[in-house]
Amino acid sequence: MSSVPDRSEVDEEYTWNLESIYATDDDWESAYEAIAERVDELEAYEGQVTDDAETFRTVLELRDEIMREVSTVAAYARMRRDEDTTNQQYQALTARAQSLAADAQSAASFIDPEIQELSREDFDSMIDAEPQLETYDHYVDDVLRMKPHTRSAEVEALLADLSEVTGATGEVYNMLSNADMAFPTVEDSSGEAVEISQSNFTNLLKRPDREFRERVYAAYFDEWESVRNAVASAYKNSVKADVKTARARNYETAREAALDGPNVPTEVYDTLVDTVHDNLGKLHHHAELKRQALDVDELRMWDLYMPLTGDEGPDLEYDQATEYVVDALAPLGDEYQSRVADGLDSQWVDVYENAGKQSGAYSGGTYDTQPFILLNYQHDISSMYTLSHELGHSMHSELTKDEQPFIYSSYEIFVAEVASTVNEALLTNQLLETVDDPEFRKHVLNEFLERVRSTLYRQTLFAEFEHETHRLEEDGEPLTADRLDDIYRGLKEDYYEPAVIDDRIAREWMRIPHFYRAFYVYQYATGISAALAIVDDVLERGQPAADDYLDFLQRGSREYPLELLQIAGVDMSTSDPIDRALETYGERLDEFESLLT
């Protein structure tokens, strides 16, 4: 039987080095207690934040010190939990860290409302008196911008205290899908029992045996059917929390509230959806090519993940994948490339799946730690691209930390997904230019097409789903499991018109964890559009364009997302980057079609 190993069976070389944060859990405990005691220090300044320039600087620096420590304590606990989500000890540590973070946010919640009592002229005068305050110029500008949506200190403290509750449905969903749900085993063509997991589901749908794929598909979604009402309840209440929080902050809609945080106009969201809808014909072309490549009468939902090459693709060991990824980064310069190589040799990455491990992939770490990347590597080209993607996030964080103070060390998802997808696009270009094996090249080309399908089209579909579910809640209409199925089915029918849409795929919304972070996924689609434009520029202009891009990465959140992307030469207020990305997608579809004839 093919099974997922226990964590103790994974070679340490392929695990991340969390001991570089805290050598032991006792050290974490000491750090937790120390910073928990400091949180109350902020309260002494309530009502005094802007009394004078020196006090203002002291308060902001104290808050930054506390938040830095809290973020590290929380990151360690969360990543320990993600190694094995069934581990009760680390579930408890994570819960404590989340409470501490909420307490810290609550303790600091009076700061922004007090800043909003200033005028811009008042702050400029304070900078004259205390030049170190100039560091906070963009931050203060952002706080003043949000004044219409910031409540009194008392209400802000209450909203901060409630953050654990309003975010609880996502935690419930995470525990249900990763720790409690047990997916069945399915026999393959040789009679071997294969265990389905959250991490390997889509990979199993790439196997050539169509009957096996159908069995996997049915078993997986039937397991979701068994918790259908629970998941519908969780998602409904997540949407309710989004809507009520937005209204508490004087927004008309939850979408407006979510996009206003990073200062992205809702027109950017609408332009994305409209442009993708204008180009659904290309996705339909992709689906039809897939039907032809598989030589089937009807394309079914268990066929969608099958590559155009008609098989699983070459087996790709992790060490070989890292070589390809590092080589592809040469256009960004020697320093960037060598820093990635050093990181891969320094246990940045937790590589392989193990029992109970958090599904999917992410890049983590904090201002005071090395990057940490969670993977569930599956020995295929797709996993190599995921590694490249997460390294883009990690390097974005590293370059930002090099140049920016803590206050600007994070960055909005809107720009984060650009950094990750630039790495993917460079990898595609490098492999197509340097690998001679025609079959491998076909798989790389297929991977590009699948990445655009799953990132630009699929995430836009998700964005439409989120927009509609929140709109219904805002209009007072009930979000039942049946209604959620109907919405999702309709979108699938639009996007995959040539394929057969069945009852099980209408429940696919249940397996998407990003829905518990509302209006997040559209940024994958805008990100890949911006990234493809940047890579085109880097490959055409060389180092000057690469330098512009690296400058963009080093800015962190010191400017607003649309302004940052303009540094890299991309204007996301227009449809141009999306049109260019979809044009490239269409050209490569035509290229692949020529290989099938």
Distances from the Cα of 310 to the Cα of 58, 302, 410, angstroms: 62, 13, 41
Burial of 450 (0-12, 13-18, 19+ CB in 10 A): buried
pLDDT score at 155 = 84
- Report whether 4 contacts 354 (CB < 8 A): yes
pLDDT score at 2 = 55
pLDDT score at 439 = 84
- Report whether 462 contacts 235 (CB < 8 A): no
CATH number at residue 71: 1.20.140.70
Total domain count, the chain: 1
Residue 14 resides in a domain: yes
Helix (H) or strand (E) holding 14: none
What DSSP line would sit under 76-96, residue for residue?
HHHHHHHH-TT-HHHHHHHHH
| Tens-level pLDDT at each residue, the chain (597 residues) | 457 899 999 999 999 999 999 999 999 999 999 999 999 999 899 999 999 999 999 999 999 999 999 999 999 999 999 999 999 999 999 999 999 999 999 999 999 999 999 999 999 999 999 999 999 999 999 999 999 998 887 887 788 778 778 888 888 888 888 888 989 999 998 999 999 988 789 889 989 999 999 999 999 999 999 999 999 999 999 999 999 999 999 999 999 999 999 999 999 999 999 999 999 999 999 999 999 999 999 999 999 999 898 776 789 999 999 999 999 999 999 999 999 999 999 999 999 999 999 988 999 999 999 999 999 999 989 899 999 999 999 999 999 999 999 999 999 889 998 999 999 999 999 998 998 888 888 889 999 999 999 999 999 999 999 999 999 999 999 999 999 999 999 999 999 999 999 999 999 999 999 999 999 999 999 999 999 999 999 999 999 999 999 999 999 999 999 999 999 999 999 999 999 999 999 999 998 888 776
Positive or negative, the CA dihedral 88, 91, 95, 100 is positive
Residue 556's SS3 state is coil
- Report whether 189 contacts 209 (CB < 8 A): yes
pTM: 0.84
Cα pseudo-dihedral 534, 360, 459, 399, rounded to 10: -30
Residue 186 resides in a domain: no
3-state secondary structure 395-462: HHHHHHHHHCCHHHCCCCHHHHHHHHHHHHHHHHHHHHHHCCCHHHHHHHHHHHHHHHHHHHHHHHHH
pLDDT score at 310 = 77
- Report whether 42 contacts 66 (CB < 8 A): yes
List Cβ neighbours of 319 (8 Å cut-off, separation of 6 or more).
none
- Report whether 509 contacts 561 (CB < 8 A): no
Residue 473 appears among annotated catalytic residues: no
Exactly one of 390, 398, 466, 559 is catalytic; name it.
390
CB neighbours of residue 144 within 10 Å: 16
In angstroms, the CA 146 to CA 588 distance is: 43
pLDDT score at 160 = 79
CB neighbours of residue 405 within 10 Å: 15
Strand arrangement, sheet containing 362-364: 349-352, 372-377, 362-364
20-29 per-residue burial string, b: 16 or more CB within 10 A, e: under 16: ebbeeeeebe
In angstroms, the CA 376 to CA 15 distance is: 11
Task: Please give the structure tokens belonging to residue 558.
Answer: 């010191």
Residue 37 resides in a domain: yes
Angle between helices 413-434 and 543-554 (to 10 degrees): 150
In angstroms, the CA 197 to CA 183 distance is: 6
pLDDT score at 597 = 66
Residue 118 resides in a domain: yes
- Closest alpha carbon to 440 in 427, 449, 431, 448: 431
Give the number of C-alpha atoms closer than 13 A to the C-alpha of residue 223, restricted to the C-beta side: 20
Residue 17 resides in a domain: yes
Residue 560 resides in a domain: no
Residue 233 resides in a domain: no
Residue 68 resides in a domain: yes
* DSSP β-ladder status, 185-187 and 193-195: antiparallel
pLDDT score at 361 = 95
Domain with 92, as residue range(s), is 8-166
